[in-house]
Structure 1
Amino acid sequence: MLQWQRDKVWWGAGAAVAAVGWGAQQFAPLLLMYRSELGVGAATVQAVFAMYVVGLVPGLLFGGPVSDRYGRRPVVLAALAASVAASALLLVGGHGVAWLFAGRLVAGFASGAGFSAGAAWIRELSAGAGGEHGPRRATVAMTVGFGLGPLVAGVLAQWAPARTVLPYLPHLLLTLAALPLVRRTPETRTPVAGEGRLRIPDMSAPRFRTVVAPLAPWVFGVVAVGIAYLPALVEPQLGAYVLIFCTLVTLLGAASGIAVVPVARRVARRGSRRLLGTAMGLVVAGLLVAALAAATRDPLLVVVAVLVLGAAYGCCQVCGLAEVQRIAPPGQLAGLTAAYQAISYLGLAVAVPLAAVDHLVPPTVLLLGLASLAAITLVLTIRSTAR
């Protein structure tokens, strides 16, 4: 196989991961729209957003080990089918919040299975390009979907007719287009019969417990703060443009996450400890800016906070995936990736308690509390890497 062909061999798996990521995040800028369309409260729409996690964790724990045993392609194809089903449920979400809960639940399962198997597939297909390319390509593919999905959905919801229906149609078309690409992508795991029961990923490695697990919730915790919590704080200042503002901050967060990936790779070459410190340092900085934005209710500061939090997401994701690749036992890469991602996606739920108590505790205080927890995580994980 020629070099240029080897460089492109991962594109099919990347397209699948991007399509699933599109389906996962297309709902994000529509949160405030559904509040007005369905007449529900902030805590309800945040719960719908977080319902994704309920489906995602079993999807991750299913997709990783199953793809380690039976191959990457079958699991990724199943994830694409589930992603289509999720958008079909969300299409009728304008008729009742129960459809939204169901759609987000299925979208979570699709993402769990697709991201765990797809990220491992991309890393294996990138093995000939160098060890650092796999985590970077997986992060970029995921984040492209995270950015384009909300952009297209938000623009359609703001200016197109049938604002609760049309935003989901592009994802259906994209996912169907990804299917033949996945079918042509080389399989990297040979199905093995008679191996016995599927194994739960081994998370007992000291570095997983002391570095990967504490880092993981911040990967998507910062995403939840940036795209699900902060925009609602400045809704009164935005009026009719709140939906496009939500779309803008979601896109900027994803763009920042992609832009920082080459920087994260260069930092990683100086040592994993340096990358870990940079990633968690950006988390602390982003939450401090978010606290300032909450205090002033300034939309511009929200944008700045989202840019920093997006960079934090990108660095944390590259760091976490690289750590998992480093410590995964033979034959357990997808399983351990799934375990890491299951913990990381728990961070998406942070917006629910924030929205539930921000009428009792000022949002600025809540965000400063999160920044303090991030600073503690930074200190503890850096100390662990020095042992």
Structure 2
Amino acid sequence: MGVSALNMSDMVANKRAQRKVWLAVALSVFTVAWGGNEFTPLLVFYRGEGFFSNLFIDLLLVFYAIGVAVGLLAAGPLSDRYGRRAVMLPAPLIAILGSALIASGEETAILIAIGRVLSGISVGMVMTAGGSWIKELSSSRFEPGVKTSAGAKRASMSLTGGFALGPALAGVMAQWLPLPGQLAYVLHIILTLILFPLLITAPETRQSAHLKTKGSFWSDVLVPSALDKRFLFVVAPIGPWVFGAAFTAYAVLPSQLRDMVSAPVAYSALIALVTLGSGFGIQQFGPQIMGTSKTRGPILAMFVTVIGMIGAVIVVMNPHPWWALVVCMALGLSYGLCMFMGLAETQNIAPPIDMAGLTGIFYCLTYVGMVFPALMTWLNQWLSYPFMLGFGAVMATICLIIVSFSARRF
């Protein structure tokens, strides 16, 4: 009886360990996302410091997006070829280096620019290798009875949780605590170092990576499943609105309202928290919203995007800090729905050999939206923000029409 009881205890412990194995990867994804996005509310801080031009500050978002694109396009095929661990383990360390350079570059353009690129590269690595690792750890092999949509939900919520909490705390620190240009990055470095040992315990899931692979790395980069019609006409139109909606909320709107609030950096952090908190909340219901329907999830994601962009036009025409928060909730819902639906569709389309590669392409599409603020700052020499955001609302409507038609057909 004693031996049987002991065996039963071991079985229960093993089951519990299996059910939590994905969490080790998710926590590292969370910390890297934290470091990548904590910079956002500090955009207001850097504008106030006056060391850099407004265009350069917005270009820092572009530098970050370039880093993300490099991380996504390289890390996806590499992790499909050589395994998730080989690509994922360096990502938190690269994120630490990025934060260190940004913290030391408050008045130095080259340091802060390189730091932003490195932050982007680390985020791209965890989005592809980390997201695919979470997806594969959320399978019946490691977690009996798990739902097929659990991987997409866990990956998107890990990212969104980091993207939300990082800027929220960074903005509060920069507004009211000493060392506003450094303290948030120091916190990120400490948090990453504490959680990094857990990542080392996660098991490899890409077993074929240990076998001889056919074809070159560049043939992997091409990712044949990217030509799937549903990916081209349903996922691709949704992709840019993930961060297109999010950065409209917490990069464009705060710049239009900073003279109307007494604590602009903290207000920017509040906007980021409301936006991404709304996205995080709606992602918990992503599987239920998607269900077995081929159309409901993608169409709802783009419909909410149209509403959010129209709301942004109204806010910049009639600025009000509290109404802006309501609009940011809508844009946050857009972010959350577009992220979850796009990722779930991508994971359904991709075969195992293309999982990280196609995920990387989807995430590259999402980061197209990060260029919007810098583009608007440059075009503002000739065009007004209401006009530019109105054009965005029209483009979102066109994407809604395309997705509505294509989701039924393909």
Structure with the greater alpha carbon radius of gyration: 2
Structure 2 residue aligned with 1:100:
112
Deviation at 1:14, TM superposition (A): 0.3
1:160 aligns with 2:183: no
Shift of 1:193: 4.7
| Equivalent position of 1:267 in the other structure | 289
Match of 1:233, as an amino acid?
Q
Q: What is the rounded CA distance, in whole Å, between the counterparts of 2:178 and 2:24 in structure 1?
A: 33
* Structure 2 partner of 1:213: 236
SS at match of 2:206: coil
Shift, 1:270, TM fit: 4.5
- Alignment match, 1:73: 85
* Equivalence for 1:345: 367
Residue 79 of structure 2 corresponds to residue 56 of structure 1: no
Match of residue 378 from structure 1 = 400
Measured in 1, the distance between the counterparts of 2:260 and 2:159 equals 32
After superposing on structure 2, the runs of 4+ consecutive aligned residues of structure 1 that deviate more than 3 Å are 1-4
- Say whether residues 1:122 and 2:134 are aligned partners: yes
Question: Number of residue pairs matched?
Answer: 386
Out of 310-319 and 352-361, give the one that drifted further: 352-361
Alignment partners' CA distance in 1, 2:163 and 2:250: 11
Matched with 2:332 is: 310
Q: Counterpart of 1:292? A: 314
Q: Which residue of 1 aligns with 2:3?
A: none
Contact 1:292 1:301 in 2 (8 A): no
Q: CA deviation at 1:38?
A: 3.6
Q: Is the 8 A contact 1:221 1:347 kept in 2?
A: yes
The Cα of 1:24 is off from its aligned counterpart by 0.8
Q: CA deviation at 1:136?
A: 0.6
Q: Deviation of residue 360 (structure 1)?
A: 2.5
The separation in 2 between residues aligned to 1:318 and 1:271, in whole angstroms, is 15
Q: Does 1:197 align with 2:216?
A: yes
Question: Is residue 257 from structure 1 mapped to residue 285 from structure 2 by the alignment?
Answer: no
1:227 equivalent to 2:257? Answer: no
SS for the counterpart of 2:352 is coil
Q: Which residue of 2 aligns with 1:327?
A: 349
Cα distance in 2, alignment partners of residues 85 and 342 from structure 1: 23
After TM superposition, give the deviation of residue 357 of structure 1 in Å: 2.0
Partner of 1:47: 59
For residues 343-363 of structure 1, what are the alpha-carbon distances to aligned partners after superposition, in whole Å with 9 as ceiling and x for unaligned? 111111111111222343221
Query: Could you tell me which amino acid in structure 1 is paired with residue 190 of structure 2?
Result: L
Identity %: 33
Contact 2:240 2:366 in 1 (8 A): yes
What is the CA deviation profile of residues 264-323 of structure 1, one whole-angstrom value per residue up to 9, with x for unaligned ones?
A: 221101413100111001110111111111011111121111111111111111101111
Amino acid at match of 1:49: L
Deviations 1:81-114 (A, max 9, x none): 1101100110112121222211111111111111
- Structure 2 residue matching 1:161: 3-state secondary structure: coil
Which residue does 1:10 correspond to in 2? 22
CA contact (8 A) 1:249 1:303 kept: yes
Provide the TM-score with structure 2 as the length reference. 0.91
For residues 259 and 95 of structure 1, the distance between their equivalents in structure 2, rounded to whole angstroms, comes to: 37
* Alpha-carbon distance in 2 for matches of 1:84, 1:346: 25
Write the distance in 1 (CA, Å) between the matches of 2:90 and 2:153: 24
CA distance in structure 2 between the aligned counterparts of 1:330 and 1:251, rounded to whole angstroms: 35
Distance in structure 2 (CA, Å) of the matches to 1:38 and 1:65: 41
- The superposition leaves residues 355-377 of structure 1 with CA deviations (integer Å, 9 ceiling, x where unpaired) of 22234322112111101100100
Select which of 13, 33, 42 maps to 1:21.
33
Name which of 356, 367, 383 aligns with 2:378: 356
The Cα offsets for residues 318-339 of structure 1, whole Å up to 9 and x where unpaired, read as 1011111111023211111011
Aligned-partner residue type, residue 256 of structure 1: S
Question: Structure 2: which 5+ runs fail to align?
Answer: 1-10, 141-145
CA distance in 1, matches of 2:233, 2:45: 40
Q: Is this contact kept in 1: 2:44–2:265, CA < 8 A?
A: yes
Paired residue for 2:4?
A: none
- Partners of 2:182 and 2:283 lie apart in 1 by 34
Give 1:39 shift: 3.4
Q: Distance in 2 between matches of 1:333 and 1:37?
A: 43
| Preserved CA contact (<8 Å) 1:272 1:319 | no
User: Structure 1: which amino acid aligns with 2:57?
Assistant: V
Equivalent position amino acid for 2:387 in 1: V
Deviation at 1:192, TM superposition (A): 2.8
Cα contact 2:71–2:125 (8 A) shared by 1: yes
Per the normalisation by structure 1, the TM-score is 0.97
Separation of aligned partners in 1, 2:101 and 2:314: 38
3-state SS, counterpart of residue 361 of structure 1: coil
| CA apart distance, 1:40 | 2.7
Paired residue for 1:32, among 44, 59, 62? 44
